[in-house]
Amino acid sequence: MKQLIGGSTARTLTRRSALTLGGLGLAGVTIGAWPRLTGSDIPGRKAEGLTIAILGNSADAEGRRGLAEEFHREFPEIDVHIQAIQGADWKDFFAKILTMVAAGSPPDIVYVATEGAQLFAEKLAEPLDDYIRRDADELREYFDDVHPSLVEAFMYQGSLFQLPIDWNAADMYLNTSTLHEAGLDRPADDWTQDDFTEMLRAMKKSQGAGFTPFYWTNRLFGGIVPWLYNNDTSFLTERKAPGGDWLWDGFYPDDPARSTRGGGFIWDGSNALDERVFESFDYMRELVDEGLGVRPEGGGGNSLVGLFSSGRVGATPAGGYWAQGLHEAGMGSDDFDVQFFPRNRTQRHQFGTAGYAIMRTAQNKDAAWEWLKFSARRESMEMAMPAPTTTPTRRSMVNASFYAETGPNNWQVFYETLDRFPSSGPIPAPPEQAAVENALIKNVTNAVSGSSRQTRAALQNLDRDLNLVLGSSR
């Protein structure tokens, strides 16, 4: 700026100003041309296409890219975006989905496990009944191949909300070297809880310090619940909702357990003060007290594969998902094996399953249904599950070739769990699952530590917490 004659001011373009302006202009053009994120890049904001949320990391999303590409080839008008969401467990994953809902960018489809099935059915997911009735002929082959117990786990108040894709039962994994060193063979199919205790004692005797005969984690799947189920009880009251006949009569008319099928499970009250619940907790307390089992910590047992494969753990409950993990940890197919959960009053097993749910907020539900049907095809499931990182819900896929590379030798146990024990039930997960799980896991450790009196006190607390959770929400 320069002072001109007459006292007025005016702007003149100096060389420095010109260079500055030129630089700013260049920067503006560069920024304008740079590919950048916009609002439409936020998953769920795009009007067209399907956003599918799964629990996992970017590698898991990448693993399903082939499936998405195959789908897009068949349905070129439907774009698919797989969005992996990381979480320590399903509860974490569901919390993140809820924040996406709150942010106004919910996915169209979510891969939901049993833990969240009723939460989604109650608040977020679209029932599939009309679609299933419409495409019944196309789906008959799927239902013929999938056990009705798995389907029933996704029934809620008479409607079906998901098609199960993968599942796992809480069977018992055994370290065969440890077993042999204890002078034992693989137990019989109908082994009892007492046999199990004796096996742990023998293992402990034959191993040195730093060895744990039985390792379990404090969570809904594979924690205390299988011990409650095999004692013909649970920490929640359990009954079946009416309805669902349209599905059972239409697809499973010859199911031997047809009379027990209904419109889905209802877990709406505390059963923590049942004497059988105390018995099961007290049994676990005795195992801990005798040094046969660990005092359970929370979490998903991430370090367990390493401990089991290095021979520091003798037995642990897990599902078919463990086969690949143990194989990758260096265990041969003869180094470990699997057996049914031991019998107590019953041999009822616990299982969990997972499948895609269509969100009520999905813009294009018909397209979402096409994805669900596509994912339930055998070739799609083969693409999604090339190795035994989980158990496919299709019986035809659970075969010798699937486990040929990894083991276990008695892989038949996985699917036979449902055939042999048709009363086997899903993870007890009402719509208030997160709060129910919290109430359970926070009292388990106290219940299995110390004296029987402490067990009773912990169960009183569990009962109080469950009543607070279930009472306040109804």
Partner 1 sequence: MSDTTTDRIAAGSSGTSPVGVRRKPAPRGRRKKNLFAWVLLAPTIVGMGIFTIVPIIGSLLLAFFRWDIISRPEFVGLANFADIALDPTVRVSFLNTIVFVVVAVTLQLSIALVLASMIQERMPDWLRVFFRSTFFFPLVLSAASVSIFMGYLFNEQFGVVNWLIGLVGMAPVPWLTTPAGAAAVVIIVYVWQNFGFSFLLFVGGLGNIPKDVYEAAELDGASGIKKFMNVTMPLLSPTTLVASVMAVITALQVFDQPYVLTRGGPGDSTRSAVMVVFESAFEQLEFGRASAIGLVLMLLIMAVTYVQFQLSRRFVFYQ
Angle, vertex CA 408, rays to CA 403 and CA 410, nearest 5: 100
3-state secondary structure 227-261: HHHCCCCCCECCEECCCCHHHHHHHCCCCCCHHHC
Q: Which stretch binds partner 1 (CB under 8 A): 38-46, 153-161, 211-219, 370-378?
A: 211-219
**Which of 81, 240, 312, 377 is close enough to bind partner 1 by CB under 8 A?**
312
469 binds partner 1 per the rule CB under 8 A: yes
The rounded distance, in Å, linking the Cα atoms of 465 and 429 is 15
> Total number of residues binding partner 1 (CB under 8 A)?
40
Those residues with Cβ within 8 angstroms of residue 112's Cβ, 6 or more apart along the chain or in another chain: 94, 120, 125, 162, 354, 355, 356, 357
The answer to whether residues 151 and 263 touch, using CB atoms and an 8 Å cutoff, is no
Told to check if 10 binds partner 1 by CB under 8 A, we report: no
Measured CA to CA in angstroms, residue 14 lies from 1, 3, 5, 219 at distances of 9, 14, 19, 72
Residue of 112, 124, 305, 372 interacting with partner 1 (CB under 8 A): 124
Segment lying near partner 1 (by CB under 8 A), choices 212-220, 245-253, 316-324, 342-350: 212-220
Which DSSP string corresponds to 184-216? Answer: --PPPTT-BHHHHHHHHHHHHHHS-TT-EEE--
Of positions 64, 91, 147, 261, contacts partner 1 by CB under 8 A: 91
Token pair 């801990």 is found at 288
For the bound state, the minimum distance from the C-beta of residue 69 to partner 1, rounded and expressed in Å, comes to: 33
Q: Is 467 in the site for partner 1 (CB under 8 A)?
A: no
Position among 294, 318, 372, 398 found at the interface with partner 1 (CB under 8 A): 294
Nearer to partner 1, 88 or 404 (CB): 88
CB of 62 to partner 1, least distance (A): 23
User: Between 101 and 136, whose beta carbon lies closer to partner 1?
Assistant: 101
Q: What are phi and psi of 336, to 5 degrees?
A: -145, 160
Nearer of residues 164 and 430 to partner 1, judged by Cβ: 430
Nearest distance from residue 405's CB to partner 1, in Å? 28
Distances (CA, A) of 436 to 33, 309, 463, 474: 51, 33, 11, 14
User: Of the candidates 17, 19, 24, 123, which one interacts with partner 1 according to CB under 8 A?
Assistant: 123
Report if residue 464 touches partner 1, rule: CB under 8 A.
yes
CB-nearer residue toward partner 1: 146 or 224: 224
Within 354-383, the residues that bind partner 1 by CB under 8 A are none
Stretch in the footprint of partner 1 (CB under 8 A) among 14-22, 94-102, 277-285, 318-326: 94-102
Q: Which of residues 400-439 bind partner 1 (CB under 8 A)?
A: 432, 434-435, 438
Q: Are 369 and 128 in contact (CB under 8 A)?
A: yes
Instruction: Determine, following the binding rule CB under 8 A, whether residue 101 of this chain makes contact with partner 1.
Output: yes
- 325: nearest Cα among 304, 341, 311: 304
Look at residue 2 and give its three-state secondary structure. Answer: strand
Task: Return d(Cα 201, Cα 291) in angstroms, integer.
Answer: 9
Q: Does 449 bind partner 1 (CB under 8 A)?
A: yes
Strand-pairing partners, residue 50, are 80
442 binds partner 1 (CB under 8 A): yes
**Considering beta carbons, is residue 134 or 474 the nearer one to partner 1?**
474
The answer to the question of residue 455 lying near partner 1 (CB under 8 A) is no
Q: Is 456 in the site for partner 1 (CB under 8 A)?
A: no
Q: Which one of residues 153, 458, 459, 466 is an interface residue with partner 1 (CB under 8 A)?
A: 458
When asked if residue 303 is in the footprint of partner 1 (CB under 8 A), the reply is: yes
CA 303 – CA 299 distance, rounded (Å): 10
Q: Which is nearer to partner 1, 76 or 210 (CB)?
A: 210
Measured in degrees and rounded to the nearest 5, phi and psi for residue 416 equal -65, -20
Among 21, 27, 29, 95, binds partner 1 (CB under 8 A): 95
Which string of DSSP letters, residue by residue, matches 259-270? Answer: GG--S-EE--SB
| Residue among 225, 465, 466, 470 that touches partner 1 (CB under 8 A) | 465
Strand 50-55 to 80-85 pairing: parallel
How many of the other CB atoms lie within 10 Å of CB of 50?
Answer: 24
Residue 441 touching partner 1 (CB under 8 A) = yes
Could you list the residues that contact partner 1 (CB under 8 A)? 91, 95, 98-99, 101-102, 123-124, 209-210, 212, 215, 218, 294-299, 303, 307, 312, 432, 434-435, 438, 441-443, 445-446, 449, 458, 461, 464-465, 468-469, 472-473
